[in-house]
Amino acid sequence: MNWRLRTALRKSNGRCHWCAVTLIVGVDETHPQRATIDHVVPRSRGGRDAVGNRVASCFACNQAKANKLPEQWTPPRPPPARAEWARAASMLLHRRWEALGSMR
């Protein structure tokens, strides 16, 4: 598993950003719950390959969304609440600051 997928899975607690299904690593490439990386704003639409634009997605949602923008596609279930993402981002930043502080 590459670091991009590992980071996205950590950020989403192992769930698909779009439908919240539990993601599976190391299964057949066409398995609907296979963990993949999805660019929220597709690279073909000018999106960057940056941490803030990458989310963990199941193969089924990634294929269905294709190169659509989030507002052009309706996921099977709504994504996690913004407050949940804010908490996750805050915890990640806190861990990074702690790690930096321990390097001194």
What's the CA gap between 12 and 87, in Å, rounded? 11
What's the CA gap between 102 and 71, in Å, rounded? 42
Confidence (pTM) = 0.69
Domains in the chain, CATH or no CATH each: 3-79 (1.10.30)
Tens digits of pLDDT across the chain (104 residues)? 789 999 999 999 999 999 989 999 988 888 999 999 999 999 999 999 999 899 999 999 999 999 999 889 888 765 555 556 666 666 777 677 777 666 65
